Amino acid sequence: GHFGMPHMDGKPATVNQYQYQDREVITAMIPGRKIALITYNGWDKVCNLVHQGRNAEAEESTVLYAYRKRIEKNPAIELMISVMLHSTDGGEWTEEELSPIKEIRIMDVMPSHSVLGAEIRLADNRTYIIDFKDIDGYKSC
């Protein structure tokens, strides 16, 4: 998560949204700071809203968030994948910066035999295995 982007001197953050084939992106920027929320899997949409009285630097702030409406009772397990970027560099985000994940391979059963996970390859070719095997502690049957 993140704090809202403060509306310094009453000036709101600049918010942009982008739709790509494999992801949805929303960005917010104020002078000297920018954030990006990138959703890849499992979310319905990305949104923003303005809060009042919840930021230490300004009365109003802009918050980015991802949204998923669950309408089924006990829906099937679905992996929800998102990336949050923060930067103090000036200027707009580049398309390269807004493309941090090169490949997602979702696995119904992981090598550890846990249910649902993924192998994620980043744009710089680093690879991470996302395995929830012991997410609820070190239990064994």
Model pLDDT, residue 70: 84
Question: In sequence order, what are the residues at sequence separation of 6 or more whose Cβ sits closer than 8 angstroms to the Cβ of residue 96?
Answer: 123
| Segment 22-57, tens digit of pLDDT | 999 999 999 999 999 999 999 999 999 999 999 999
This model's pTM is above 0.85: yes
pLDDT at 138 over 70: no
User: Hunting for tokens 């993924």 — which residue is that?
Assistant: 118
**Would you kindly state where each structural domain of the chain is located, as residue ranges?**
5-99, 100-141
Query: Using CA atoms, how far apart are residues 24 and 43, in angstroms rounded to an integer?
Result: 9
